[in-house]
Structure 1
Amino acid sequence: MKSIVALQSVVTPWLDGLEPSDAELDAIEVEMPLVLAEVDLLDAEIAVLDRKPSDLDAQRIRRARRRMLAARRDLINQSIVAVNMRDGAA
């Protein structure tokens, strides 16, 4: 039996700069509530792909959609406030 592992010692060299910067990690942390809300909505939608949604399923999807929209609204509002503060407008 032949091995199919890479013959090179390192397939992808680890270069400096491959890790996210502190600013990128902060941006991810700010966006995390929206990401989690989108995942919840996707989970609710996937659960009903192969069947007709029951009333409970429809309610779960509506709630997840509302949470996602609220998280999106909050993120946009935070962005607007940050831009206004940066530009000196209050």
Structure 2
Amino acid sequence: MNPNRTVDLDEPTPDALAAIDAEWPLIDAELALLDAEITMLYAEDRGGPDELDWRRLRRAEARVTRVAAEVASRSGTFRRTA
């Protein structure tokens, strides 16, 4: 840390790191979805997506939805109504 500053602006704060760590499962799920979407785009070069490509995409979408709900419920931003 720079002794001339009271706050080191070059590094994330412990709170920011904790927030990233808490959201990492969702980040990972979204990266997997992006990878599946890219695979679908490149599938056009080989005649279009096959059943496994579509299955991978559906599973990645479902995982994002599931993990987003889990992260939201842990952080208290998701409220269920009766």
RMSD: 1.6
Describe how 1:32-43 pairs up with structure 2 within 5 A: 32-43=24-35
**What runs of 5+ residues in structure 1 fail to find an aligned partner?**
1-14, 82-90
Q: Which amino acid aligns with 1:46?
A: I
Map Cα deviations across residues 7-45 of structure 1 (whole Å, 9 max, x no partner): xxxxxxxx8221001000000000000000000000011
TM-score by length of 2: 0.75
The residue aligned with 1:48 is 40
TM-score by length of 1: 0.69
Q: Distance in 1 between matches of 2:36 and 2:73?
A: 26
**67, 72, 77: which one aligns with 1:76:** 72
Aligned residues: 67
Sequence identity percentage: 40
Secondary structure of 1:48's aligned partner: helix
More helix by share: 2
Q: Which amino acid aligns with 1:19?
A: E
Describe how 1:2-81 pairs up with structure 2 within 5 A: 16-50=8-42, 51=44, 52-80=48-76
**What runs of 5+ residues in structure 2 fail to find an aligned partner?**
1-6, 78-82
Map Cα deviations across residues 58-78 of structure 1 (whole Å, 9 max, x no partner): 000011111111110001111
